[in-house]
Amino acid sequence: MSFDLVFFGGTGDLTWRKLMPALFQAFRHGKLPEGGRILAVARDEQTDERYREWLKERFQEVEAGKRPNDEEFARFSELVHYRRMDLSQPEHYGKLKEWLSERNADTVVLYLATSPHLFTQICQQLGAAGLNGPKVRVVLEKPLGHDLASAQEINKVVRSVFDETQAFRIDHYLGKPSVQNLMALRFGNALFEPLWRRESIANIQITLAEGLGVGTRGPFYDSTGALRDMIQNHALQLLTMIAMEAPSSNDADAIRDEKLKVLRALKPFTAESVARDVVRGQYRAGSVDGKPVPAYLDEGKIPPDSHTETFVALKTEIQNWRWAGVPFYLRTGKRLAARDAQIVINFRPVPHPIFPGSSCPNRLIIKLQPEDGLELQLMANKGGSSTEALSPVSLDLDFDKAFAHTRVGAYERLLLDAIAGRLNLFVRSDEQEQAWKWVEPILNFWKQDSTGPRTYVAGSWGPPAASALIARDGHSWIEEC
C-alpha cells in the first residue's frame, strides 16, 4: 500500500522529537508499509538534502536506543522530503496537491503538528484545494480547543471538509501498549469482569504524575494548565476504558459508543462540588531527584501573578448501575515525587476477617509508565503458623519483558493506524466535546475564584488538600498506604 504522510509543522518540536523518531522505529522494525513518502512542510526555505541533514542532527537528541546509525538513517532519509509552505497562502496548498498527485498514492495522511489555533485555517484551505478526497485522512493533535466552544468550532470546520471517518483526533496515551491492554484485560479474559463492578470495587485511582516542570513550554502551559493538558483528554480517556461496558465488537464505533456512554454518565460538577471535590495546585521551589528546582512562577516567561494550575486532584462518580457509589479519583501534576502513570483498582475488604492482624484489601495496579505491566496484590500466609498474620504478596507481570520483541511505542502505533485507517485508538468528536462539557464547570468556577491554586513543594505528591480529599471517604493514595 503506497502512502504519502505530510507533517504540517515539519520543523516543530513534536515532529522531530516524537513523530519522526516513531516513524523511524516503524521503518527499523519493518512495519512501515512499502511505497511510502514522508513530507515535512514549514515556512523555512530548505531543500530535501538540507532538511535531512537537519533531521539527522535532531536525531542525536532522542533516546540513545532509538537513534539510527548512519546506514539506517541513509535508507530512512530516502523517504523524507521537504517543501516550503506558508499555511496562509491558498496557492501553496495547490502546489502541495500537485506534489501529491505526482504518483497518486493509495493513502494520504495529513498530520497537523501545528498550534491548534491553525487547525481551522488549515482544514478550510485543504478543502478549498480539494485535498479532502476519500483516500485522505487528517490527524489532529491535542489540545483540540481551549474550551467547549472552541472545540465545537474546530469540529464544525473539520466536519465541513472531512467525513468523520477521515478525522483522526490523536491522544497518544491511547497508543501506549499498556492502555491497549486495558481492553484485553477486561474483554479478552474472564477472570476480572465478574468483579469489575460496585459490589467488589471500593474505589479507582488514576494518577498521571510527572517529575519535570514546564521547561521551555512556559507560555503554552500557562495558557493551558493541568486540567486542559492532562485531565480533559488523557485521564478521561483512561477512565472511559476502565469503566465502559463491553462493546459488541472490536469495531471503532462500537468501542467509542461505549466510551461516550461513560462520559455522559459522569456526575456533573456544580460550583459547590467543584469547591469540595477538586483541588488545584501550583508548585513552589523544591527538590526533584536530589536537585533543586525553581518554583513555577520563577520558570521562564511565566507571569509573576499566574494562577495557572500545575496540579489537579478530583473526585467523581459514574451514575449508572455498574458503578453507582464507587468514587473515581483522578490526579495529575508536574514536579511531583516521581514520573508515574498508573491506574489502581482497590477492591473491597473481605466481609468477615478470620485471620489475626490487619488485612489489606486486594489491589490491581495497571502500570502505564515508566514501567508497563500489571501487579495484583494479594494476602498470603508465610507458612510459619496457622495463627500468624497474613502478609501482602504480589503477582507482577512486566509486559516489556514478556513481549520484548513485539512492543511498539505510542506514536509508532498511532501513526501506523492512521496510515492503515484504523480508528479504534482515536477520539471521536462527540467524545471530545462531552469531555469538554464535563470539565467546563471547573474552568468557570476557577475564573471566579480569586484565591488561586494551593502551593505544594516540588518533589512532593501535591498539596496536602489532595490527601484530605480522598481521606474524607476513608481512602488514601497508593503511596500513602
Catalytic residue positions, numbered: 234
CA–CA separation, 407 and 25 (whole Å): 11
C-alpha cell at 288: 526533584
Closest CA to 342 of 210, 254, 219: 210
HSE (CB half, 13 Å, CA atoms) of 417?
25
DSSP state letter for 17: I
The grid cell for 116 is 491548534
Among the listed residues 171, 324, 183, the one whose alpha carbon sits nearest the alpha carbon of residue 244: 183
Element (H, E) at 76: helix 70-77
Contact 375, 365 (CB under 8 A): yes
Torsion of CA 117, 121, 126, 127, to 10 degrees: 120
The length of the chain in residues reads: 481
Which residues, at least 6 apart from 28, have a Cβ–Cβ distance to it below 8 Å? 68, 72, 76
Buried b (16+ CB within 10 A) or exposed e, 154-169: bbebbeebbeeebbbb
What CA–CA distances, in Å, run from 262 to 165, 258, 420, 470? 22, 7, 28, 22
Distance, CA of 81 to CA of 91 (rounded, Å): 19
DSSP 268: P
For residue 25, count other CB atoms closer than 10 A to its CB: 19
> Can you name the residues that pair with 111 across neighbouring β-strands?
7, 139
Residue the block writes with cell 491535542:
142
Of the candidates 408, 423, 399, 403, which has an alpha carbon nearest to the alpha carbon of residue 30? 408
